[in-house]
Chain A
Amino acid sequence: MVNSLNRDEKSLSDRFLSVRDLFKSYENSGATIDILKGVNIDLNAGETLAIVGASGIGKSTLLHILGALDRPDSGTYFFKDDDIFLLNQTSLAKFRNETVGFVFQFHYLLPEFSALENTMMPALIKGLSKNKAREIAEGMLVRVGLKDRLNFRASKLSGGEQQRIALARSLVLKPAILLADEPTGNLDKRNSEYIHDLLMELNAELNMTLIVVTHNMELASYMSRSMTIVDCQLIEIKG
């Protein structure tokens, strides 16, 4: 095992995603629980990273911070030249909308809407026209193999199909970073394999940086790097 701090010498100009000295703790019934203590990560465009380990060690918290959904107590997070936690609310929302794609263990699709409308949602939030949003959403749903399900209500589809819609939705704006939190934690083996293959193919196609939190060692083995959290610190597992 090698501590990820050793990547510090990387020059600032090629910095893609860089996290330094991240600290995060929670208050619970008056007691402070440390989750992350001095976490560092450096990733290049297109790189794939698995974060593995037992439940409750802070993997999801780290992923939420990387997706700018949560804030650390201290530390810096640079994406290219932007210091993410110094951005104002509008820029932060834009970062979540255009730069980051999120896939969760549960699909969190909007049940009243069709597969196509769910997939269009990030594009509509961005302010694209309905026609343009429909066009790119259709393309992405076809890409994940749901050509025949475009107008089906999300709640009427199977678990595997719902997760594929969630994947299409997260990728519709071709984000630079895809964050996946147990993307196949809720699926059977066949659907899990389908999603794994799809993730790797789309990673190569779109050159997006992929960070996956998983218990699934098979999925972790597809990633170019693997890390785990030990004593609130992120450490690299040599492949």
Chain B
Amino acid sequence: MNHNLFSALKLEKTVMFIILALIVLVAAFNIASTLIMMVMGKTKDIAILKAMGAMDSSIRKIFIYKGMIIGAVGTSLGVCLGFILCKLLEKYKFIQLPGDVYYISTLPVRLEALDVFMIASAAMVICFLATLYPASQASKLNPIEAIRYG
């Protein structure tokens, strides 16, 4: 009986991880599209920086840093909010469970440092990947096109 319950819970955890990863992925697309819009808006600034001698790698770094800052702020906020929510749930037990199915009547909370670390790291890695395409588009921009058609 217990074996079935735990394997069901394990499956649920895996499914939850996939759902959360998809949410993070959507957020990463958001970061990528924000950065792509920013690259388009900053075409002239990128062109003038290149005309002043900025290397392609420096331009790439600007947009990677920008994306990583957005990612770091989002991840920190998410971790903080998640932590607060878990503590509140632990104290006030506001999610009820059907006791005849689960043997417990409220949703239990167990915060694992490793889980938090893994989720935060995964979020940062996905953010980093999301910056690569816009940053490389920015660094490949031809300054002449932007300046000529100003």
Q: Which residues of A contact B (CB under 8 A)?
A: 60, 64, 67, 69-70, 89-90, 93-98, 102, 104-106, 108, 110, 121-122, 125-126, 169
Contacts and interface: CB of A to CB of B under 8 A. Distances in A.
Given A106-B150, A108-B48, A110-B45, A122 B53 contact: yes
Interface residue SS majority, chain A? helix
A132 to B, nearest CB: 17
A156 B50 CA distance: 24
A169 B45 CA distance: 14
Interface in B110-150: 143-144, 147-148, 150
Interface in B26-53: 44-45, 47-53
Contact of B48 (A70, A93, A98, A110): A110
B147 A104 contact: yes
A69 B55 CA distance: 12
A104 B47 CA distance: 12
A90 B45 CA distance: 20
Interface in B45-88: 45, 47-56, 58
Given A67-B51, A69-B144, A110-B48, 7 more contacts: A64-B147, A96-B52, A97-B54, A98-B53, A104-B150, A108-B147, A122-B53
Contacts of A70: 144
B46 to A, nearest CB: 10
Contacts of B54: 93, 97, 125
Nearest to A109: B48
A121 B144 CA distance: 19
Interface of B: 44-45, 47-56, 58, 143-144, 147-148, 150
A121 B49 contact: yes
Nearest to A107: B48
A97 B53 contact: yes
A190 B45 CA distance: 28
A162 B54 CA distance: 21
Contacts of B58: 125
Nearest to A97: B53
Contacts of B148: 60, 64
Nearest to A96: B53
B144 A64 contact: yes
28 contacts: A60-B148, A64-B144, A64-B147, A67-B51, A69-B143, A69-B144, A69-B147, A89-B56, A90-B55, A93-B55, A94-B53, A95-B53, A96-B50, A96-B52, A102-B52, A104-B147, A105-B150, A106-B150, A108-B47, A108-B147, A108-B150, A121-B49, A121-B52, A122-B53, A125-B49, A125-B54, A126-B53, A169-B52
Contacts of A104: 147, 150
Given A64-B144, A69-B143, A97 B52 contact: yes
B44 A108 contact: yes
A95 B54 CA distance: 11
Closest 10 CB pairs of A and B: A97-B53, A96-B53, A108-B48, A122-B52, A93-B53, A93-B55, A70-B144, A102-B51, A125-B54, A125-B53
Nearest to B53: A97
Contacts of B143: 69
Nearest to B45: A110
